[in-house]
Amino acid sequence: MAREITVLQKLDHLNIIKLEGIATSRMQYSLYLVFDYMLSDLTRIIARPDQRLTEPQVKCYMNQLLLGLQHCHERGILHRDIKGSNLLIDRDGTLKIADFGLANFFVPKPKRPLTTRVVTLWYRAPELLLGATDYGVGIDLWSVGCLLAEMFVGRPIMPGRTEVEQIHRIFKLCGSPAEDYWKIMRLPTSFRPPQHYKPTIKEAFKDLPPSSITLLSTLLSLNPSYRGTATSALQSQVTFNLIRSGPNFN
């Protein structure tokens, strides 16, 4: 919690939940973090059975999410658990990134090993599943890619039950890694997919707008260096020049 408080104190952005205060309980020896009340979260909005998100709504939420992540990454902070339930929505449709319990600071040099036990399984990047301890902003961007598709289709796109099943789902959707992938990533695992998979993103999401498919393919690149940054994603056709206010929930 001490690290979470330190992280939150370094962040000040419209699309990031603001730490308003800290309360203590002498009776229970407990510490409470105080935040603004938020009406809903992205998971609940996506799961509404009678109301699928429109393309402008998806673009608006993507824009806000990427702006918040851009602020985090520029300050050397990885969120490490981007998922719908951690993206809170207020009555005016403003999205705020919340729950920085797994967040940590990262610096390109000198590099230090980080734990792989981060990010909820369905949104966990392949390098984490394969044991990488040297990673950066790419793990957050992978999660953003999963959410982009989820907002359009109305459900999680890779709901694996185990880490092994999750990596197989990833390879079936994104294709098997090229042979040089294993050399470039320097992964500590000897795992190899049992068969060669071809990428199926375009076929699986053929109903998505073309510009969204392009961004989705970038964010779900197996090599994290190909995912770009939050800044480059903001410059894509999906999010460029979008308004900041979202749908109204009054």
Q: Give the chain's mean pLDDT.
A: 89
Q: List C-alpha distances in Å: 105 to 21, 111, 122, 187, 195.
A: 22, 11, 23, 22, 37
Cα–Cα–Cα angle for 211, 180, 114, nearest 5°? 80
Binned at pLDDT 50, 70 and 90, residue 82 comes out as very high
Q: What is the pLDDT of residue 167?
A: 92
Cα separation of 167 and 64, whole Å? 29
The SS3 call for residue 61 is helix
As beta bridge partners, residue 16 has 97
Return the active site residues: 81
What does pTM read for this prediction? 0.90
Cα separation of 237 and 84, whole Å? 23
* Statement: residue 201 has pLDDT above 50: yes
Binned at pLDDT 50, 70 and 90, residue 241 comes out as very low
Q: What is the pLDDT of residue 242?
A: 47
Q: What is the pLDDT of residue 237?
A: 59
Binned at pLDDT 50, 70 and 90, residue 239 comes out as low
Cα–Cα–Cα angle for 89, 144, 227, nearest 5°? 150
Domains and CATH numbers, the chain: 38-234 (1.10.510.10)
Cα separation of 32 and 24, whole Å? 6
Burial tier of 164 (Cβ tally within 10 Å: 0-12, 13-18, 19+): exposed
Query: By mean pLDDT, which of 87-96, 149-158, 188-197 is the weakest?
Result: 188-197
> Euclidean distance between the first and final Cα of the chain, in Å?
34
Residue 171 φ then ψ, to 5°: -65, -35
Binned at pLDDT 50, 70 and 90, residue 213 comes out as very high
Binned at pLDDT 50, 70 and 90, residue 110 comes out as low
| Cβ neighbours of 76 (radius 10 Å) | 15
How, if at all, do strands 87-89 and 95-97 pair?
Answer: antiparallel
Q: What is the pLDDT of residue 27?
A: 74
